[in-house]
Chains A and B, each alone.
Chain A
Amino acid sequence: MGYALFNIFIFPGFLFLGVISLVAEYFDRKLYARLQNRVGPPWFQPLADFIKLLGKEDVVPEEADKKMFNLSPVFALTAVMTAFFYIPLWGAQAIFSFNGDLIVVLYLLTIPTLTFFLGGWYSRSLFSTIGAVRSITQLFAYEIPLFVSILAPAMLANTWSLSEMAAYYNSHPWFWLANLIGFGVALISLLGKLERVPFDIPEAETEIVAGSFTEYSGRLLAYFRMAIDMEAIVGASLLAAVFLPFGLGLSPVLGFILYLIKIFAIIALLALFRTVFARLRIDQMVEFCWKYIAPIAFFQVLLDLVLKAFVIR
């Protein structure tokens, strides 16, 4: 019981997740700056930003719905933190697992987007409303490819539980190579979920000030930003667990290091995408996702079905 509490709160629970998401934000911003021939922020910048925001006054607009305005960031943070517990990090077993937890994790990861929408909508400000609507529109575009591409390895492993999937791939080495196309699709969809360039339309600074977050300040904005940072880590961990499940049998220390390498490689790829692309318009983004990404995801599912039926007995 004590050990479980330690797991939840300290390691690899809330504290660990908080620390590593701040480190990942630093890594992302520093890499982005270096790619642009600039210096970039010092290592303590994300922590300093978080603490500074906590100390500022929360301004709640008069016309906003106070309950929803105040609760949306909390929901976002909670959902993301909860999702972390079901993902196997460096062994084949997550902290908690049950059959069907894959679906639960995907559902929990959708909640932050919904809270961005609710927060923006209930701010009753013009820019927030536009940002909120864009968030939901974008959700329709990337959600299907993301789900379908994550479905494919699950089908190959014959289970709905992340931990059992990891165990399956651990006992059948090299099978994960069949899912690499899905990995590409999931990476692009993750860009959409995290609202990063080229899909950062809901938070387009030069068009609608800050989208859903325009009216947020102080503590609530700190929670939202922390939720976004954590979502990056949880998303990257999910991708690593589903598509890169190799080396899970190593000793705890080596496994931990391998896990960190996987996570930071994904974050580095995301930072690289941020640097070399311009932002797409919402209609172009939806078109792109449905025309190109979704069919590729379905192709991956087909590939896995074929493999399961004919190749693997």
Chain B
Amino acid sequence: MSKKPWIHPGKMIEFVLQSLFKKPATVNYPFEKMKMPEKFRGKLIVHPEKCIGCLICMKDCPAKAITIKKIGDKQFEAEIDLGKCVYCGQCVDSCPKKAIEITPEFELAQIDRNKLKVSYNAKPGSPDSAPDKA
């Protein structure tokens, strides 16, 4: 391919005309949704029944987004502020009991900042409640 370059204007013209007949590269969000790969780091969920209250996740979080409170004997409540969280997943790695899980959900926007605080409580005798998000 070492022919001398023929310098002329409008070099892109054939390439550009071909695009007329191709489907556009734009995804028509929000009517079409992009699918994120499996291990995408989106929203975090906590399984509070596995939590032992060691607080390593609170120590390692770069954004101080997770708070663990004791609400009973061996019962802990986890609250994550989705607005502060940077979705790095360090808490997932640090937790010795693997109580925190990361999901690929990324459409988390809210108008009210307070609604971004999501809590996971383990009340005695009941499974972890659904995140309280309006």
Residues of the A chain whose Cβ atoms lie less than 8 Å from the Cβ of B30: none
Please state if B24 and A276 are interface contacts (CB–CB under 8 Å): no
Please state if B26 and A35 are interface contacts (CB–CB under 8 Å): no
Q: Is B37's beta carbon under 8 Å from chain A?
A: no
Interface residues on B, range: 10 to 19
Residues of the B chain whose Cβ atoms lie less than 8 Å from the Cβ of A36: 16, 19
Please state if B11 and A276 are interface contacts (CB–CB under 8 Å): yes
Residues of the B chain whose Cβ atoms lie less than 8 Å from the Cβ of A40: 24
Residues of the B chain whose Cβ atoms lie less than 8 Å from the Cβ of A251: none
Task: With A39-B24, A39-B26, A39-B28 as known contacts, state yes or no: A34 contacts B19, CB within 8 Å.
Answer: yes
Contact of A277 among B10, B22, B25 (CB under 8 A): B10
Residues of the B chain whose Cβ atoms lie less than 8 Å from the Cβ of A170: none
Q: Is B9's beta carbon under 8 Å from chain A?
A: yes
Bound: A33/B26 CA distance, A: 11
Bound: A252/B17 CA distance, A: 34
Please state if B24 and A34 are interface contacts (CB–CB under 8 Å): yes
Contact of A276 among B12, B25, B26, B28 (CB under 8 A): B12
Question: What are 26 pairs between A and B in contact, CB < 8 Å?
Answer: A33-B24, A34-B20, A34-B24, A35-B16, A35-B17, A35-B19, A35-B20, A36-B19, A37-B19, A37-B22, A37-B25, A38-B24, A38-B25, A38-B26, A39-B24, A39-B26, A39-B28, A272-B13, A273-B10, A275-B12, A276-B9, A276-B10, A276-B11, A276-B13, A276-B16, A277-B10
Interface residues on A, range: 10 to 19
Q: What 1/0 flags go to A28-66 for Cβ under 8 Å of B?
A: 000001111111100000000000000000000000000
Q: What 1/0 flags go to B1-25 for Cβ under 8 Å of A?
A: 0000000011111001101101011
Bound: A265/B52 CA distance, A: 73
* Chain B contact residues: helix, strand, loop or mixed: loop
Bound: A236/B131 CA distance, A: 61
- Given A36-B19, A37-B19, A37-B24; 12 other pairs, CB 8 A cutoff: A34-B19, A35-B16, A35-B17, A37-B22, A37-B25, A38-B24, A38-B26, A39-B24, A275-B12, A276-B9, A276-B16, A277-B9
Bound: A273/B12 CA distance, A: 10
Residues of the A chain whose Cβ atoms lie less than 8 Å from the Cβ of B25: 37-38
Bound: A276/B22 CA distance, A: 18
**8 A Cβ contacts from A261-288 to B:** 272-273, 275-277
Bound: A22/B17 CA distance, A: 24
Residues of the A chain whose Cβ atoms lie less than 8 Å from the Cβ of B12: 275-276
Bound: A312/B28 CA distance, A: 60
Bound: A34/B19 CA distance, A: 7
Residues of the B chain whose Cβ atoms lie less than 8 Å from the Cβ of A38: 24-26
Complex: chain B residue closest to A40, CB-CB: B24
**8 A Cβ contacts from A201-226 to B:** none
